[in-house]
Amino acid sequence: MRLKSFNLSLGAQIFRACADESRLRILSLIFHNGEMCISDLERILDFTQAKTSRHVIYLKNSGILSNRRYDHWVFYQIKDEVADIMKQIFQFLRKDGQLLKDQQIFETMMANRELAISRINLKRSVTP
């Protein structure tokens, strides 16, 4: 569901949430990668679990993030209602060095994870 109209109250709420560099880094990763969990955000951003959780909860309470549970994991994603404004914000920030570095760390982490999974699967298929 997309926003049909943008009002001052919602705009102020979103801009307050985006006024913090840490929250913008979190939002950028989630925006560009679909959804993320706290533990991956911690590793990429080199934040403590408490700092990461505090910022994610702030973003969730601001109406920007939603979440889904899978077993003991919680994955956060950008709400459809605010996806358009997030797209515009990150269009302006697309060449920011810190955000590009965060994304590169994510891509390296995911490549390493995929390699580890392939090795495990290969080991399973070789072992009688």
Q: Can you give the CATH number for the domain in which 87 is found?
A: 1.10.10.10
Percentage above 90 pLDDT, the chain: 68
Confidence (pTM): 0.84
Q: Is residue 2 part of a domain?
A: no
Over residues 40-66, mean pLDDT: 95
Over residues 57-66, mean pLDDT: 94
Q: Is residue 72 part of a domain?
A: yes
Provide the pLDDT for residue 8: 81
Domain that holds residue 43: 8-126
Q: Is residue 116 part of a domain?
A: yes
Q: Is residue 47 part of a domain?
A: yes
Q: Is residue 3 part of a domain?
A: no
- Three state DSSP letters for the chain: CCCCCCCHHHHHHHHHHCCCHHHHHHHHHHHHHCCEEHHHHHHHHCCCHHHHHHHHHHHHHCCCEEEEEECCEEEEEECHHHHHHHHHHHHHCCCCHHHHHHHHHHHHHHHHHHHHHHHHHHHHHHCC
Provide the pLDDT for residue 9: 79
Q: Is residue 36 part of a domain?
A: yes
Q: Is residue 104 part of a domain?
A: yes
